Structure 1
Amino acid sequence: MAELGVSEMERMNTFGIGADAQRGLGAGMTLPLLFLATVVWWIWQRHKANLESGLPGTFGLPFIGETLTYVAKMKSPLGNFVDEKTKRYNGAQAFKSSLFFQPTVIATEVETVKMIVAKEGRSFVSNYPSSFALLLGRFNGLNMNGENWKRLRKFVISHIMRVDLLKERMADIEDLVVRTLDSWADDEGRTIYVEDETKTIAFNITALIVLNLKPGKVSQTMQRDYYPLIEGMFSLPINLPWTIYGKATQARVRILKTLEEFLQSRTVKDDVFDNYVQLLQEELPPGSPPALKHEMGLDLLTSLLFAGHDTTAATMVFSVKYIGENPKVLAELRREHEELLKRKQPGERISWDDCKTLSFSNSIITETLRMCNISTTVFRKSLEDVHVGDYVIPKGWLVLPYFRAVHFNPSIYPDPYTFNPFRYQDAAGSKLPFFGFGGGARLCPGMDLARAELCLFLHHLVMKFESWELLGNDVVSYFPFPRLSARLPIRVKRRTPPQQPST
């Protein structure tokens, strides 16, 4: 072999190929060989997993898999990537794919979805795309697991979402809702873009709860920067100024700068940020650098501001759409709120406990979330091989329990594409599987606050306006989150105050 090597080098030198050129030729041949070896390895790993899992499905192209197809179809009005796959595989309870550079299992059958959600922290852990962690911060709640997640959840429930604290905030929350809806009533003939308005309501409420921040320049600046941040969460993490992700990273820098300036300007320091940093002081290992605690505190605020407003805003805007399309629903909703007012003294506020009694309003919230849930799925990773009927979810795979498949299953929800809050008004309806706020150990800790906000919004919507005209022709898409193409333009008709009886 050595002789052949020498002979080959002599032959190359004969043709004038020097040592540097030989090294360049070797490097040039190495790169294609490495690429070929990587592709072969990729194909073998997926073939091996395919044999072991028994799951139907395909992995698509090397590396990118079916990600581009998934994104394109989920941006379409029907959001039909999963629906098409489920039909193709004869209603299989789960199928395999390759999304976001990872071999993936998508679960669509209700019992499989329930199982994945229930086994959080044991067989599955949260595993959102890297763009989430990079944009919300490495210590954001979505990407935390284990003891860090338990500590964060306990803190949120005991310091932010405590019912007694939220009850005290109800008047402030109501004032923020009324402030926006009164502006609609001031100019009855103008076109109102409901998506813009509800985002402002929800963000202002979240900023008040989390930061004790009142509406103004600071809240407007942060809200404006959250739009590109959210857009970048499911984009390819290519950090160039003109890319979606690049614009999102710039928005994160601005959000952190605004937060820092606000935190430094406070006169009262006993708040969420300082309480959380104090908790970290007690919980983190001795000697942890102060900068780490500060970073974790900022990541907490960033992720809470995201999680606390976007879902609620989407539910508000879609509820206006669905109620406006259904006169029967509007009439029943108004009847419920008129009955509520009859039980209260003139000028008396709507309370936290009142919101719990509004059965039909809560049915509207549930049905709206069923149809347009901002979390059509959650991202998990399997910690072990998990047997599901005749299939195996292999260890280390990305796992997506697809809530939308359950919510639109006609055997569970008859006529699933019809908005029908009446379906929850009997005992059977209360038992329908519902994942509008997630489930299991990661059930949204702000669920009750969101319902209270939405009840207040619905109350003042139907008490201030007789009806509203839906303008334009909005198209719904589902990626990265449900949205309306035209931002739901409407024109409102004010209610005529009831005549006082003559004396």
Structure 2
Amino acid sequence: MELFQASGLTCLLIPTAFFVTFVLLLLRASGRRGRRLPPGNLGLPVIGETLQLIAAYKTENPEPFIDDRVRRFGAVFATHVFGEPTVFSADPETNRFILQNEGKLFECSYPRSLCNLLGKHSLLLMKGSLHKRMHSLTMSFGNSSIIRDHLLVDIDRLIRLNLESWSDRVLLMEEAKKITFELTLKQLMSFDPCDWTESLRKEYVLVIEGFFSVPLPIFSTTYRRAIKARTKVAEALSLVVRQRRKQCEAGARKKDMLGALLDGGGGSGFSDEQIVDFLVALLVAGYETTSTIMTLAVKFLTETPRALAQLKEEHDKIRAGKYPCEGLDWNDYKSMPFTQCVINETLRVANIIGGVFRRAMTDVNVKGYTIPKGWKVFASFRAVHLDQDHFKEARTFNPWRWQSNSGSTTPGNIFTPFGGGPRLCPGYELARVEISVFLHHLVTRFSWEPAEEDKLVFFPTTRTQKRYPIYVRRHDASGQCI
């Protein structure tokens, strides 16, 4: 009897499924007739082309998903991924249009799983006047004068302190992350490295892993572990915030980011929860992205000996005019033109921030097409940076393309490693300084060679857990290996 009941239920479900699919396809078709949507393929109902996107990003080269569709449909195309219709843009003009119209035609839109890990008050997820206020505050702590007068000395000191512990075999990615985490904690809350900061960093590692897992606690132990780690991080930071608030009330103030947040950032005060979420997001930003660029810069230089030799020559010249243990100053930083070429090219090829998601707040006309209200848009920086029309031999690491005498000009909407518009990364100058100082001490104090093959690091978007091990040899003050 149960068998017959099951068969009857199956007979009922099959035609129902076909009917629902037919209705969805019909609605999709009628919507297209009413508006000139960007060309593309929305794929299967509900699933869309999500599986194709995921499959592409599991390869060594995650570009086929965009490359194939650009060839078929053009630089602006429609698809359906992660449960929502989405317009992808590989066009620099369209990307600029999206970035510049933040809060007018488009608004920030990220998955709920990201909100769970970062917190609803993180800078990435803020909107409107609060975002403008927080973004301005963050920019004020990362501008050139603040870095020159206050931050550079600590950046130089902490990087040298970390490199002192290196010997023989080094897991470069892990060491770079340790450096950037300690630098960020110092800049945000005035903490020097200690047992507490290292304990906090270990919890952060678990939080970061949650960004690249299935965001379902029931099915993913990684995501479940990340949520628990995020709770521990928030509790630890909440304790710091409460202690610092009491100190401020007693008249003891520090000139760091936390101090500015406790003062209200020039406006009405922030709650402890808002401050904690803000700090969590800034720690993630400083920890993950800058350390990856450091690691990949070393990898690309190792694979391009001529570039490494020229970089070393530039930094040896700076070091020759200084005492052995003397730190770098702002003039030294401004005397690193080829270093900036290396950083630019690493940013362009690696694309740590591959693009940004936004949501259309109203029907938007772009390139003769209509992006319907509520649709997601994805401005792909990676697709532009790796486009042969914009950069010759675009997938080859060539830092000389950035030299001023090369005749190469790059409009602002072509090279956007730090985004743009109202959400331009507020720490872009600080990141450049940290990477420059790191490369200076690395090339003037060490020689190295890769410990093993590590191809997938070339595209960090594949989220490989490779750590890029290298064998290092320390130099003495004269530059000789010891």
Length-normalised TM-score, structure 2: 0.87
Q: CA deviation at 1:417?
A: 1.5
Q: Of residues 53, 68, 80 in structure 1, which corresponds to 2:36? A: 53
Which residue is 1:217 aligned to?
195
Rounded Cα–Cα distance in structure 1 between residues aligned with 2:85 and 2:32: 10
Instruction: Give the counterpart of 2:107 among 107, 110, 125.
Output: 125
Between the aligned partners of 2:192 and 2:45, the Cα distance in structure 1 is 50
- Is contact 1:76-1:477 (8 Å) kept? no
Instruction: Give the C-alpha shift of residue 389 in structure 1.
Output: 2.2
Give the direction of change, closer, same or farther, for the CA distance of 1:182–1:346 in structure 2 (3 Å limit).
Answer: closer
Q: What is the alpha-carbon distance in structure 2 between the residues aligned to residue 492 and residue 383 of structure 1?
A: 52
Q: Which residue of 2 aligns with 1:302?
A: 280
**1:476 corresponds to 2:456:** yes
Correspondent of 1:226 among 166, 191, 204: 204
Structure 1 match to 2:257: 272
Please show how residues 205-354 of structure 1 align to structure 2 within 5 Å.
205-233=183-211, 235-240=213-218, 242-265=220-243, 268-269=247-248, 270=253, 271-273=256-258, 275-279=260-264, 282-283=267-268, 293-344=271-322, 347-354=325-332
* Number of equivalenced pairs: 460
Partner secondary structure for residue 260 of structure 2: helix
Q: Greater Rg, structure 1 or structure 2?
A: 1
Shift of 1:162: 4.5
User: For 2:292, what is the secondary structure of its paired residue?
Assistant: helix
Question: Is 1:180 matched up with 2:162?
Answer: yes
Contact 2:78–2:86, Cα closer than 8 Å, also in 1: yes
Please point out which of 413, 422, 431 is paired with 2:410. Answer: 431
Distance in 2 between residues matched to 1:454 and 1:499, nearest whole Å:
21
- Aligned-residue offset at 1:386: 2.3
User: How far is the alpha carbon of 1:103 from its aligned partner?
Assistant: 0.7
Unaligned runs of 5+ in 2: 1-8
Deviation at 1:38, TM superposition (A): 6.2
- Alpha-carbon offset, residue 33 of structure 1: 9.8
Residue 312 and residue 499 in structure 1: after superposition, are their counterparts in 2 closer, same or farther (change >3 A)? Answer: closer
Residues 56-113 of structure 1: CA deviation (Å, up to 9, x unaligned)? 22222332322233123113210124344335415x0211111222110110122222
Deviates more, 1:124-133 or 1:240-249: 240-249
2:5 equivalent in structure 1: none
Taking structure 1 as reference, are residues 480 and 414 closer, same or farther at Cα in structure 2, changes over 3 Å only? closer
Q: Deviations over 1:229-259 (max 9, x none)?
A: 2232354432237433222211111111221
| Displacement of 1:200 | 0.3
Residue 79 of structure 1 contacts residue 478 of structure 1 at CA under 8 Å; is this kept in 2? Answer: no
Deviations 1:354-407 (A, max 9, x none): 323311101111111111121101111112222222322222111111111111
Instruction: Please identify, of 103-112 and 35-44, the stretch whose mean Cα deviation from structure 2 is larger.
Output: 35-44
Identity %: 34
| Deviation by residue 1:200-231 (Cα, 9 ceiling, x = unmatched) | 00111011101112112222122222223223
- Residue 67 of structure 1 corresponds to 50
Name the CA distance, whole Å, in 1 between partners of 2:85 and 2:458: 22
Partner Cα separation in structure 1 for residue 318 and residue 371 of structure 2: 50
Q: 1:49 to 1:329 in 2, by over 3 A?
A: farther
1:411 lines up with 2:389 in the alignment: yes
Residue from 423, 427, 430 that aligns with 1:442: 423
- 1:281 touches 1:293 (CA, 8 Å); kept in 2? no
Deviation at residue 122 of structure 1 after TM alignment: 1.7
Match of 2:346 among 359, 368, 383: 368
Structure 1 counterpart of 2:453, which letter?
N
What is aligned with 2:369? 391
Which residue in the other structure is 1:16 paired with?
none
Distance 1:480 1:192, change over 3 A: closer
Q: Deviations 1:432-479 (Å, cap 9, x if unpaired)?
A: 5211111122111111111110110010011001x3111222132688
Change (3 A) 1:355 1:37: farther
Aligned equivalent of 1:166, options 147, 160, 177: 147
Question: What's the RMSD between the two structures over aligned residues?
Answer: 2.9
Distance 2:432 2:132 in 1: 24
Letter aligned with residue 470 of structure 2: I
Residue 72 of structure 2 is aligned to residue 94 of structure 1 = no
Judge conservation of contact 1:73–1:81 (CA < 8 Å) in 2. Answer: yes
TM-score (norm 1): 0.83
Q: Report the CA distance between 1:37 and its aligned residue.
A: 7.5
Q: Is the 8 A contact 2:109 2:125 kept in 1?
A: yes
Q: Which amino acid aligns with 1:368?
A: T
